[in-house]
Amino acid sequence: MKIPISLQINGEMYQVQVPVQKTLLAVLREDLALTGTKNGCDSGECGACTVLMDGRPVNSCLILAVDAVGKQITTIEGIGGIAELDPIQEALVAHGAIQCGYCTPGLVMTAKALLDSNPHPTETEVREGIAGNLCRCTGYVKVVEAIMDVSRH
């Protein structure tokens, strides 16, 4: 059975009919075509699906869409685009910290939440902050450098 819900995503209201067991990740990708948020594991282990919920990073594969009602959801589409990249995206590009890119949207969202709450983190704090975002390609060194670079400005 589907129920009607309203979701606030990137400052816009969306009306969708969803089964109560459908995850926020699935609704973003399948119902709203917000496919910048990636599905890496669908089980809370990789961080590829990270979005911000009321400013805090969450794994959208672990959140039911019905539980996102009344929250402010921010996805990668809400913080930067090709025309104007977010400073974190710019820094990742500048540092060559993107390879396949599958982890990148989730990583950007986590880094944004980290820098919003702690604008000048130590390297250890950056590494701890992104620990839930798995990247099989980069080895993290350039990723950490890029986030530290943003924090210096």
**Residue 59 or 74 having the CB closest to ligand FES:** 59
In the set 42, 67, 125, 145, which binds ligand FES (CB under 6 A)?
42
- In the region spanning residues 48 to 77, those forming contacts with ligand FES, defined by CB under 6 A, are 48-49, 59, 61
Q: What is the CA radius of gyration of the chain?
A: 15
Q: Which stretch binds ligand FES (CB under 6 A): 9-17, 28-36, 47-55, 84-92?
A: 47-55
Taking the complex as a whole, the smallest distance from the CB of residue 75 to ligand FES amounts, in Å, to 13
Q: Is 36 in the site for ligand FES (CB under 6 A)?
A: no
Strands 50-53 and 2-9 turn out to be unpaired
Q: Is 130 in the site for ligand FES (CB under 6 A)?
A: no
Tokens of 123: 């390297």
* Residue located via tokens 């009344």: 70
Strands 72-74 and 2-9 turn out to be parallel
Q: How far apart, in Å, are the Cα atoms of 95 and each of 47, 66, 110?
A: 21, 38, 18
In the set 70, 96, 101, 139, which binds ligand FES (CB under 6 A)?
101
Q: How many CB atoms lie within 10 A of CB 86?
A: 18
Q: Which residues bind ligand FES (CB under 6 A)?
A: 39-42, 44-49, 59, 61, 98-103, 135-138
